[in-house]
Amino acid sequence: MRNNLRINGERLSWRLAELGRIGALPGGGNCRLALSDEDRRGRELVVGWMKELGLAVTVDAVGNTVGLRKGSEDGPPVMAGSHIDTVATGGAYDGNLGVLAGLEVVAALNEAGIATRRPLAVAFFTNEEGARFQPDMMGSLVFTGALPLAEVLSTKGIDGETVGEALARTACAGPAPAGRPEVHAYVELHVEQGPVLEAEGFAVGAVEGVQGISWTEFTLAGQANHAGTTPMRMRHDAGLVAAEIAVFARALAREIDGNQVATVGAMTLHPNLVNVVAERVVMTVDLRNTDEAILQQAEHRLFALAEERAAAEGVTVERRCLARFAPVAFDPRLVARVEAIARDEGLMVRRLPSGAGHDAGIMAAVCPACMIFVPSAGGISHNVREYTAPEDLANGANVLLRLLLELAE
């Protein structure tokens, strides 16, 4: 009978749409940057739903929020979770799906009058995206004790506000302790955010792990000078070095091939004027690979190139690590269960690695963890056009329901 239990797909889509109204962008998509006023309003909506479903809600010092449903026995809960912050040009699915599908699981159990043996928890973690404050997965890092709270509170965001100031201004923090989580198992349903499932006709992905992530900020300092009068050989052009780093990052990823990716996603030039040689550039490089040794080689080559090109141009280079995560492998038994449950549901399923970072990768350090992927239309994410069909959302949520039930027995 429990295997016949289903989540309500229409209500899941409705909740996603309702949450998507908060921080909605004029042309579609969402901006709910971590610890912004929009994030705060999103939290209020989701916490309200948690309470309606009878969950006991606790919030910790960085705003990680957990809704707990009692089991027939006490003990560490089986947790479903993800995040509800977005990048500045995000969609309605990234993160939100995992949280709201968790609520659907609770609703389905409530409606069927089912009590599980272990408690069930639905969680959302603060600042998974890392778009406003780095590193990404900040909340789950604090939740698991991998990142000290004091360090996080003093971290400045791209707009100059610190995490501590933003927490105080938005009143997103609470008194629950962090750093000693007792979680029996963690399951995160998420949109793939890549093209593989859709292109190959799969309904579900059984995620084997998360690739390694390396975020570096380069600050290049040269000399501002007149664009017309300064001979080319006498320039100290920070803009040129930035361009060389960007071109090299792409060439490096192509040369390594396989799973290596490289992205220059942010670059600011000073003074950023048409007729002035750029004096200063701050830029980011995001490198990722499923293989830690190859990722380290890519880092070394990128850093060496930056030093070499900067020296050649008479520009200084400073490097700051914004985030660094080794690749993570999910619990093999849980990955196998995702695969088996999806098959049993009559869904085409394949194993794949995650290209994006996820809270599940952080939770994997403290408990058995895994992820369920559903297709992203056109493989598009971190884009206002992000979309997943309602049927795919419901399929993923039903796999989540069955796996949580198994784990909670």
Gap between the terminal Cα atoms of the chain: 14
Min. distance of Cβ 383 from Mn ion in angstroms?
A: 10
357 binds, among Mn ion, ligand GLV, none (CB under 5 to 8 A by kind): ligand GLV
Min. distance of Cβ 129 from ligand GLV in angstroms?
A: 5
313 binds, among Mn ion, ligand GLV, none (CB under 5 to 8 A by kind): none
CA atoms of 19 and 15, how far apart (whole Å): 6
136 binds, among Mn ion, ligand GLV, none (CB under 5 to 8 A by kind): ligand GLV
60 binds, among ligand GLV, Mn ion, none (CB under 5 to 8 A by kind): none
**Cβ atoms of 144 and 366 closer than 8 Å:** yes
Min. distance of Cβ 248 from Mn ion in angstroms?
A: 26
Give Rg (Cα) of the chain: 22
CA atoms of 312 and 330, how far apart (whole Å): 44
Min. distance of Cβ 213 from ligand GLV in angstroms?
A: 7
DSSP β-bridge partners for residue 221: 280, 316
Answer whether the bond into residue 135 is a cis peptide, omega within 30°: yes
Helix intervals (H) in 314-375: 332-344, 359-363
H/E segment holding residue 198: helix 196-200
Min. distance of Cβ 342 from ligand GLV in angstroms?
A: 23
Q: Which of 80, 61, 60, 59 is nearest to 69 (CA)?
A: 80
Which is nearer to Mn ion, 188 or 299 (by Cβ)? 188
Which is nearer to ligand GLV, 237 or 286 (by Cβ)? 286
Distances (CA, A) of 291 to 146, 256, 258: 22, 11, 10
CA atoms of 36 and 33, how far apart (whole Å): 6
355 near Mn ion (CB under 5 A): no
Which is nearer to Mn ion, 94 or 313 (by Cβ)? 94
Which is nearer to ligand GLV, 24 or 261 (by Cβ)? 261
Min. distance of Cβ 291 from ligand GLV in angstroms?
A: 17
Which is nearer to Mn ion, 96 or 144 (by Cβ)? 96
CA atoms of 376 and 199, how far apart (whole Å): 10
Footprint of ligand GLV on this chain (CB under 6 A)? 129, 136, 356-357
Min. distance of Cβ 3 from ligand GLV in angstroms?
A: 33
Helix intervals (H) in 5-80: 9-20, 37-52
Q: Mask 66-105, x = binds Mn ion (CB under 5 A)?
A: ----------------------------xx----------
Q: Which chain residues interact with Mn ion by CB under 5 A?
A: 94-95
